A and B are shown apart, each in its own frame.
Chain A
Amino acid sequence: MPEIKASSVEPGKKAKISNTGILFIVLVVLFALFSYVGRPFFFSTLNLVPMLNNLSFIGIIAAVLTMVMVSGDIDFSIGGNIGLTACLVALLLSKGLPGWLVVIIALCGGAIMGAFNGFLATVIGVNSIIATIGTMFIWRGIGYTLSNGESMLAMNPVIDYIGRGFLFKVIPFPIVIFIVVFVITYVIMNLSKWGRRIYAIGTNPMASYLSGINVKKVKFVGFLLCGITASLGGLILTSLSAVGMPQHGQGLELVIISGIVLGGTALGGGKGQILGTLAGILILSVLYNFLTIMNVYYFYIQIVQGSVLVLVVATYEIRQSRALKRV
Chain B
Amino acid sequence: MSKTKVLLVLVLAVALVVTFTILPGCKTTTTTTAAAETTAAAETTAAAETTAAAAETTAAPTETTAAGGYPAYEALREAAKANKEYPGAPAKDFSLAFTNIMGGIPFCESVWKNVQDQWKLAGGDPNKLYYADNQYDATIGLKNADIMLAKKPSVLINFQFDSKVNSIIGVKFGAANIPIIAVDVPTPGAPFMGVNNFKVAYMAGTEAIARVEAMGGIDKIDKIILMQMPSGGEVTMLRSEGFYQAFVDKYGADVIDPKTVRADGGAGEAEQANKAMTDVLAKNPDAKTVVLTSINEQTMSGVIAAVQTAGRWDPEKFIVITQGCDATGQQQLRDGLTDASIAYFPEKYGEYLIPGSVALMQGQPVPAFMYVENQVITKDNIDQFYPKS
Question: Hey, which bits of chain A sit against chain B, CB under 8 A?
Answer: 41, 44-47, 49-51, 53-54, 144, 149-153, 155-157, 160-161, 164-166, 168-172, 175, 179, 183, 186-187, 190-191, 237, 240-243, 245-252, 275, 288-289, 292-293, 295, 297-299
Contact = CB atoms under 8 A, between A and B. Distances in A.
Given A46-B25, A237-B139, A179 B13 contact: yes
B187 interface: no
A160 B23 contact: no
Interface in B121-146: 129-133, 135, 137-139, 142-144, 146
A168 B24 CA distance: 16
Interface in B154-213: 162, 164-165, 167-168
A93 to B, nearest CB: 11
A160 B35 CA distance: 8
Given A47-B150, A161-B34, A241-B142, 19 more contacts: A45-B28, A46-B149, A53-B146, A144-B231, A151-B138, A153-B164, A166-B30, A166-B31, A170-B26, A175-B16, A175-B20, A240-B142, A243-B164, A243-B168, A245-B164, A245-B165, A275-B9, A292-B144, A292-B147
Interface stretch (B37-45, B241-249, B303-311, B366-374): B37-45
Nearest to A165: B34
Contacts of B33: 160, 164-166
Contacts, number: 154
Contact of B151 (A41, A45, A164): A41
B265 to A, nearest CB: 12
A50 B150 contact: yes
Contact of B133 (A161, A179, A247, A298): A298
Contacts of B82: none
26 contacts: A44-B25, A47-B146, A50-B143, A50-B147, A151-B138, A151-B162, A152-B164, A157-B35, A160-B38, A164-B37, A169-B31, A183-B9, A190-B1, A240-B142, A243-B164, A245-B165, A246-B231, A247-B138, A247-B231, A249-B139, A250-B137, A251-B137, A252-B139, A292-B132, A293-B150, A293-B151
A59 B168 CA distance: 22
Which 7 A-B residue pairings sit nearest by Cβ, starting from the closest? A149-B230, A47-B150, A50-B146, A298-B133, A190-B1, A45-B25, A164-B33
B139 A47 contact: no
B7 interface: no
Contact of B138 (A51, A152, A248): A248
B103 interface: yes
B177 to A, nearest CB: 14
A45 B23 contact: yes
A293 B148 CA distance: 8
Nearest to B45: A153
A325 to B, nearest CB: 28
Nearest to B20: A171
B388 interface: no
A151 B162 CA distance: 8
Nearest to A237: B139
B67 interface: no
B217 interface: no
Contacts of A53: 146
Contacts of A41: 150-151
A102 to B, nearest CB: 15
Nearest to A161: B34
Nearest to B161: A247
A99 to B, nearest CB: 11
Nearest to A285: B143
A187 B3 CA distance: 11
